[in-house]
Amino acid sequence: MIFETLAQTGHEQVVFCHNKDAGLKAIIAIHNTVLGPALGGTRMWAYKTEQEALNDVLRLSRGMTYKAAVSGINLGGGKAVIIGDPSKDKSEALFRAFGRFINSLNGRYITAEDVGIDVNDMEYVLKETEFVTGVHQVHGGSGDPSPFTAFGTLQGLMAALNVKFGNEDVGKYSYAVQGVGHVGMEFVKLLREQGAKVWVTDINQEAVKRCVDEFGCEAVGLDEIYDVPADIYSPCALGGTVNDKTLPRLQCKVICGAANNQLANDAIGDEVEARGILYAPDYAVNAGGLMNVSLEIDGYNRERAMRMMRTIYYNLGKIFQIAKRDGIPTYKAADRMAEERINAIGRIKLPHMGNQQTRFLGRMRGQ
């Protein structure tokens, strides 16, 4: 059934990676390389089944294609997942074995950090392949992309506030932030700097405690976050939290956060629109991390990265304009904007087949 699935999702290539000695079981999915090599992070997660891991990597890699396209970046979409518990299954051997599989793709796929992976893990991957971003600054990389993702999310939020309320006064509104990991924590910090009222929740109680103690947030239970009277619901954890059960409970007027795949399905997206809630499409909002690490290919520059983050505001503005012009929900408008760019460029380019000449200027290889 795998080829039947790929025919439906449009994926170009799926690679299953196995190294018994290193304990590696991973899947790399390359969705579309019309715009350039596929770039997307590696996620390490204790998936219950291999099918669950495959479904996740197919879904996430497709999202990366749309994220790059709508952001105006010359990159395609890919993603990788490593099956394992990031709290106990990590090792140098595992990540170096994974790096070798990435290297075998000859630049068609470039990886980075995602859930369960940090800069230290990327150090090991870098020992085996050049095709990795988000590496430490000592190697000419950009380091942790989380602050950039959070800053980009703030730009998307301001665009949404402007459409919904006619102003960009972040501190004037209240927020229900679900998930205060690396990105969520940085986003909360930005909201509180503007004086906003913020409710937070997370499975990690230490992270929640930090939000309360350091930033003055109000903590609520994992399930209670859907019931707080917030103006904006900000999902910053895993996807699918806007669904049949949670949507009727939300009191917000805007949904804008850093999580991927926030809507459980298209029908939920239609219902969000019907309820008069403005949805800021996730892959357009959270593109800051991708923008940031993409700059490592040509030589990283922080000032250039910050300028790129600000384009998220204008990208969201275009999406909202398309939605209004065509009378469609914003999630469909984002897809339409991305697909139009891919189709236009696709007429003049073939899929990216990878080459060893991909340039990572300023990069010093780990030894």
Residues classed as catalytic = 79
Q: Strand, helix or coil at 303?
A: helix
What the block records as the tokens of 331 is 């999630």
CB atoms within 10 A of CB 362: 13
The answer to whether residues 52 and 34 touch, using CB atoms and an 8 Å cutoff, is no
Q: How far apart are CA 115 and CA 119, in angstroms?
A: 12
The three-state (H, E, C) secondary structure of 82-121, written as one string: EECCCCCCCCHHHHHHHHHHHHHCCCCEEECECCCCCHHH
Please report, for residues 32, 51, 82, 162, the alpha-carbon distance to residue 1 in angstroms, rounded to integers and kept in the order given: 20, 12, 22, 46
The answer to whether residues 175 and 232 touch, using CB atoms and an 8 Å cutoff, is yes
The answer to whether residues 242 and 235 touch, using CB atoms and an 8 Å cutoff, is yes
Q: How far apart are CA 281 and CA 263, in angstroms?
A: 9
Q: Strand, helix or coil at 328?
A: coil
Buried/exposed 210-233: b ≥16 CB within 10 Å, e otherwise: bbeeebebebbeeeebbebebbbb
